[in-house]
Amino acid sequence: MRIEMVFMVILLGGCEQPPPVVNGAKLPADPDGITQAQPKLPAIKLFVGAVEMEAEQALTARQIETGMMFRKTMGENEGMIFVFQRPNSRGFWMKNCPVPMSAAYIDPQGRINEIVKLDPHNTNSVKSRSFQIQYVLEAPRGWFKKNGLGPGVTIMTPKGTLRQTYFPGRQ
């Protein structure tokens, strides 16, 4: 099974069901063992349209799964970009996330497809409408609107497009 599929099962299935019972004992409420914020991830400068942002990069399955969990703050021009190997439908939730955020669902060409609101601690997945989402950019709630950014805006890095940055050998 591909890592993305495993991640989607974890992401979409997690908290919406009661903890399982094995041999009469409840398993821990967080079977993934994520009980604290992950260390700050390596960051990259993003150009979201003409607006500059510093974004931590969630590149591995564990980094993606943990995301902004247990983080109590997010800087005004900071975010987290989640990079997936292949485009697909995406769904993000806010398990153990106390900070209200907005998330941009981004296609393989680096264009924002849609922007959604993510409410603190909400364990209901906010799914993308498109199956062509390869990147997700989380930012403080209202950041995109405040900066006049919406669907159709392209995201670049100092290395070029998101594809050139993260998948340089792909066409």
Q: Walk me through the domains of the chain, giving residue ranges and CATH numbers.
A: 3-18+43-166 (2.60.120.1140)
pLDDT for res 35: 76
Residue type, 75: G
pLDDT of residue 38: 83
pLDDT at 99: 93
For residue 26 the two structure tokens come to: 């409840």
Q: Each residue of 90-116: b (16+ CB within 10 Å) or e?
A: bbbbbbbbeeebbbbbbbbebbbbbbb
* Cβ–Cβ under 8 Å, residues 130 and 92: no
Count the alpha carbons within 13 Å of 94 in the hemisphere toward its beta carbon: 21
pLDDT value at position 86?
96
pLDDT at 171: 66
The tokens describing 90, both together, are 């995406």
Residue 3: per-residue pLDDT: 43
> What CA–CA distance (Å, rounded) separates 162 from 154?
9
pLDDT of residue 32: 60
> For residues 102 and 138, is the Cβ–Cβ distance under 8 A?
yes
Measure the CA–CA gap between 36 and 120, rounded to whole angstroms.
16
- Can you name the residues that pair with 47 across neighbouring β-strands? 52, 156
Per-residue pLDDT, 31: 46
Give the pLDDT score at 95: 87
d(CA 86, CA 107): 10
Tell me the mean pLDDT per 10 residues along the chain, length 171.
41 36 40 73 96 96 89 92 96 91 97 96 93 97 97 97 92 66
